[in-house]
Structure 1
Amino acid sequence: MAAPSSEMATESQPLLSENVGEMNTRKKTRNKLLILIVGAIFILAADSGFYLSVAPQTAIFEKIICRNYLEFLDSTNTTLPASDVADPCKSEAVQGELALITGYKDGFAVVPTILLSLPYGVLADHWGRKPVVYLGMLGIVLDELWTRLICLWSGVLPLRMVWLSALWKIIGGGDQVVTSVVCTMIADVVSENERSTALFTLMSWVFVADIVATPTSAYLMTFDPWIPWTLGYFIIVLGCIPFLFLPETLGDAKAKKSSSHRTDNTTQFTEPTRKMSSMQMVLYRLREFKESAQFIWKDTNVMWMIMISFVSMMSRQSTNILLQYASKRFGWSIAKASLLVTIRGSVGLTTCLVLMPGLNWLSGKYLNLHGKYRDHWLSKITGILSVVGFLLVGLAPTTALLIFGLVIVAMGGAFGVNTRSLATALVVPDHVGTLYSSFAISQSMGIFLAGPLFAYLFKWGLHLGNAWLGLPFLQAGLFFALATVAVWRIRVDQSLPGDDGEQEEEQEPLITESS
């Protein structure tokens, strides 16, 4: 009886192994789908909360500043200027202060990201993805709550205390760190071929939130701006809850790494890092980044691309002042001006889903442009569109021309995607991670500088007169002009280090994935 039993065990072993393999495959598929759904819910909720809040927050800030301004005039027995009698809240004093408060708030908000993105990235690799996401969500929720509490008690607390809301983002590093870790979790569980499609699908929900939430906010503001502002906060909180039920994906990332790197050199390199503390790991990563980033300073193309990233992010931030600009220049309510954001989002979504894929196909079929040559050409086109669009917005004498200019700006919004795809093709694959880290830092610096800069330009335009209110957008157009000139300076034919003549053939899949 022993022999048949032994034979039965031997014959059943492959069947058990196959069953275990199928169960593991089903589990991975289920986890992948769960992470994609939860990630989409979070992006949709976070951006819906933002777009529900941006217009009412501006309106509430304006109301508080206007009230304080009138109280100051009463206390000092100062007469309101004749030009401001019709609507004191649109006066130069009120609008200038509003621009400064909003600009500095936006600038300070990215300081934690600049300082802490690397440490939190290390912790995500050391602790796990979920703890960092939880910390980031807590920081975001407290940041949003702080701003609302300051406005609620604005009779006692100065409105400029909203600038301190950025301190809460020290917990987790802010929304950009959270978004980065969420994208990392998705990259952990999807294959290399699925990655770009998954991330693009995830980011498309930003446009959906823009299109749906902005008109909803405008409608609710007709009752009271506090309604959409409060609703936006609770939607952000609710969007964080599904993450409590997600599996940790750090194990998937380690499994990928161990399966793709099984050389002795890799073992010797990674083994000591397992025994490091979190602080030692941060210092180790800093040294590693410094050594690996040397190519940035030696490659002119890379330097141009980082400058382009910095400039384009600064210019994009000018749209934060769009509501105030349209409200002041054309006498619109903040709620009505917020509909411009919906127009921008609708055109942006159409550009990503229809226009850019169409241009990709046409450039390949009729111009025989592929890979980095196609990206270079499209970067030039979208750069020119951005310059023209911002100039039209800044100089628009009528609402029709303003809307037309905004449509052109939205069509040029693919400039960042095209230039990033081009940059990916201009460095060797081992340097792509370092290049993206450099982009993240340069973009955060652009946001930090753009908020105060455009606020002061708008305030200066208020002083010069109504025709000069578009100064922030004219400056944005100038920045994009510089970035577009830099694109023209890129040498696409420059050989990569270690190029053996077959690099171009192998580069195409990488470019496709990054775009």
Structure 2
Amino acid sequence: MTTKGPELGHSVVLVAVDEETNAERRPLLSRGSSDTPPSSTSLARTPRLQVYLLFAVVAGLDSTIFMLSLPLTRVYESITCYQWYAVEQPGVYPDPNTVPEDMCKIGPVQEKLALIRGLEFFFMAAPGMLTAIPYGMLADQWGRRPVLRLCVLGLVAAVTEVLLVCQLWRFIPLQFVWLGWLLTFVGGGAAVLNSTVFAMLAEMVEEKDRATVFLQLNIAILTAQLISTPTTAALMARFGTTVPIVFGFSVGILSSLLALLVPETKSSRPVCKPSEVLDVGVAPSEPLPENGKPGTLSIIFQTLSKVGSLFRSPALLALLGTLFIDTFTSTTSVFVVQYISAKFALTIAAAGSLITIKAVVAIVFFLVLVPAAKSSLQERWHLSSKTTDLWLARAMIACSPAGLVLMALSPNLVVMAAGMVLVALSGGSTSPVRSVSTGLVDPSQLSLLYGVINVTQGAATLVAAPLLSELFGTGLRWGAGWVALPFAVAAALSVVSCLAIWLTKP
């Protein structure tokens, strides 16, 4: 969940706010503060605990996805495999659970599985892309908390429908799992959840600390992945698919309940002058209706005008283009486990163990090396926080082409793991980019900015999911030497992404 952007030379000027608002916006990582420690009553609403609570919600929901991914992939495979043998060799296997997993690594089964998984990812992304900006508007008007709760509700409904389809496979075609994700039109799904969480975090920390906090969120997600993936693999090895699915869904329910405790972070007062961020000018205000509230059409036109103003910045355009390509290439993660399983003749549970290695190395990298590099750039080279973040993004995103090439050409699991690690490291580039982008817009438009970012990433997913799925299927049809075709195409595109971020001026 993240984004990038260079310094445009415009500063955000803060106006005076009252003591209560200052308390809500107190920086998370400030040092040397002499403030009196908050009372136990107010402690639950301090920015630090709000951040930890948001981390817990996001990491918990991501744990659910990680814990369900391996067993559901195996369930999809077993159902698809059984249905193929029921036609080709009727009566050999009475149900999906009786088909040996090694019998499912044949081309026709894997090709259909890739199609189901790829289009499922397409349907997961579609609601978020179509609703990110409208829900961003609502978050700016209503507040962040109601939108966050709607997101969680839609996600729980979608996962429930997917599990029901898997349970009722005799009566409902497996392709109906795609339709379940349309339920995330309620709340906008993961895309709107991400933009809402980042907007909340951006409102709680200072500009110089945003990239650090965004990176900490990435670490929380990787930690969740580190814990959940081997746990799921161990449960699958011992109990099959049912127990890890039930356990993962239970974690999701608990995380959803935690979301109910998240307080509102949106300030009711403006914190900067609207014309002092991007140099785009301010359109004259339309007259308000007699009741003093803007009409629906007025709100829509004002929002479109604000979106248009974002695209007047060449820097933001370049960064959005970079994000589009990065999201496209990262969609290969949908096929990683299936690719490893098919290429090296491993069980899905065993293939998932490589994800643990990737998560361990990435956590160490983000916890130790990135903070050290940032400190060195700021203290030794005296770079601003925005310029530092941009250089970090450039360095991390350069790992992507190398990692994808290693994954495409990997002759063994060691090289494959190295490629996965490099791709994971490149994923951290979105945190500093989102931090820089945040500093380029008025704080009152944070949800709108993140909505545009998520529309960009959603559009990339909508293009990538079916295309990479077709490439994977084509590779399977052409033979074992072509099974890495999606990763080779992604590697070529990631070179373009590197060029875009390196040509962006700090």
Would you call these one fold, judging by a TM-score over 0.5?
A: yes
Taking a change above 3 Å as real, the CA distance of residues 275 and 216 of structure 1, as seen in their structure-2 partners, is farther
Q: 2:366 matched to 1:352?
A: yes
Taking a change above 3 Å as real, the CA distance of residues 337 and 302 of structure 1, as seen in their structure-2 partners, is same
Q: Is the 8 A contact 1:28 1:189 kept in 2?
A: no
Taking a change above 3 Å as real, the CA distance of residues 125 and 428 of structure 1, as seen in their structure-2 partners, is closer
Q: 2:322 matched to 1:308?
A: yes
Q: Give how far 1:462 is off.
A: 0.5
Equivalents in 2 of 1:298, 1:462: separation in Å? 44
Q: 2:173 matched to 1:158?
A: yes
1:290 equivalent in structure 2: 304
Matched residue type, 1:97: K
Q: 2:426 matched to 1:412?
A: yes
Matched residue type, 2:400: S
2:103 equivalent in structure 1: 88
Equivalents in 1 of 2:180, 2:174: separation in Å? 11
Q: Give how far 1:211 is off.
A: 0.5
Taking a change above 3 Å as real, the CA distance of residues 285 and 316 of structure 1, as seen in their structure-2 partners, is farther
> Could you say what secondary structure the match of 2:331 adopts?
helix
Q: 2:339 matched to 1:325?
A: yes
Matched residue type, 2:256: C
Q: Is the 8 A contact 1:52 1:217 kept in 2?
A: yes
1:505 equivalent in structure 2: none
Q: Is the 8 A contact 1:43 1:203 kept in 2?
A: no
Give the gaps of 5 or more residues in structure 1: 1-20, 78-83, 493-515
Which range moved further: 132-141 or 48-57? 132-141
Taking a change above 3 Å as real, the CA distance of residues 288 and 24 of structure 1, as seen in their structure-2 partners, is farther
Equivalents in 2 of 1:262, 1:146: separation in Å? 44
> Could you say what secondary structure the match of 1:172 adopts?
coil
Taking a change above 3 Å as real, the CA distance of residues 411 and 137 of structure 1, as seen in their structure-2 partners, is closer
Equivalents in 1 of 2:411, 2:274: separation in Å? 64
Q: 1:133 aligns with which of 145, 148, 159?
A: 148
Task: Decide which structure has greater helix share.
Answer: 1
User: Which structure's relative contact order is higher, taking Cα pairs within 8 Å and 6+ residues apart?
Assistant: 2
> Could you say what secondary structure the match of 2:169 adopts?
coil
1:41 equivalent in structure 2: 56
2:192 equivalent in structure 1: 177
1:97 equivalent in structure 2: 112
Number of positions where the alignment pairs a residue of Structure 1 with one of Structure 2: 455
Q: Give how far 1:347 is off.
A: 2.2
CA RMSD after TM alignment: 3.4
Q: 2:78 matched to 1:63?
A: yes
Equivalents in 1 of 2:306, 2:444: separation in Å? 7
Q: Give how far 1:163 is off.
A: 0.7
1:435-454 mapped onto 2 (5 Å cutoff): 435-454=449-468
Tell which structure's C-alpha radius of gyration is larger. Answer: 1
Equivalents in 2 of 1:352, 1:108: separation in Å? 31
Equivalents in 2 of 1:128, 1:366: separation in Å? 41
Give the gaps of 5 or more residues in structure 2: 1-34, 93-98, 276-281
Taking a change above 3 Å as real, the CA distance of residues 428 and 162 of structure 1, as seen in their structure-2 partners, is closer
Matched residue type, 1:46: L
1:199-348 mapped onto 2 (5 Å cutoff): 199-222=214-237, 223-250=239-266, 253-254=267-268, 256-257=269-270, 272=288, 275-276=292-293, 280-281=295-296, 283-348=297-362
Q: 2:132 matched to 1:121?
A: no
Equivalents in 2 of 1:66, 1:206: separation in Å? 32
> Could you say what secondary structure the match of 2:414 adopts?
helix
Query: Among the aligned pairs, what percent are the same residue?
Result: 28
- TM score, norm. by length of structure 1: 0.79
Q: Is the 8 A contact 1:458 1:472 kept in 2?
A: yes
Q: Is the 8 A contact 1:150 1:162 kept in 2?
A: yes
1:144 equivalent in structure 2: 159
